[in-house]
Amino acid sequence: MNKIKVHDIVVLLKKIKVKNIDEKIKQVLSILSVKNLVEYEAREFRGSDSRKIIIQVERLYVWVNQLLPV
């Protein structure tokens, strides 16, 4: 499987012509940062941390769904 690099994600997102794309890129990078902490580091992930990241992911999901044609 090909590994997608964070840089590639940012490049692709910058191609989307919406006014708040820099904010959305920051959100994606924040989510990926937490994902990497959980996946690769021996860091305990608490319930409050889980709830915060779930909210971030849900908001990003809603935004993406609004962009995509049905």
Domain positions in the chain are 6-67
Note the pLDDT tens digit of each residue in 3-31. Answer: 678 889 889 999 988 889 999 999 999 99
Own/partner pairs, 31-34, CB within 8 angstroms, 24+ separation: 31/56, 31/57, 31/60, 32/6
Give the contacts of 43 (CB within 8 A, at least 6 positions apart): 37
pLDDT tens track for 22-69: 999 999 999 999 888 888 887 777 888 889 999 999 999 999 999 887
Cβ neighbours of residue 49 closer than 8 Å, sequence gap 6 or more: 34
- pTM equals 0.80
Cβ-contact 67, 18 below 8 angstroms? yes
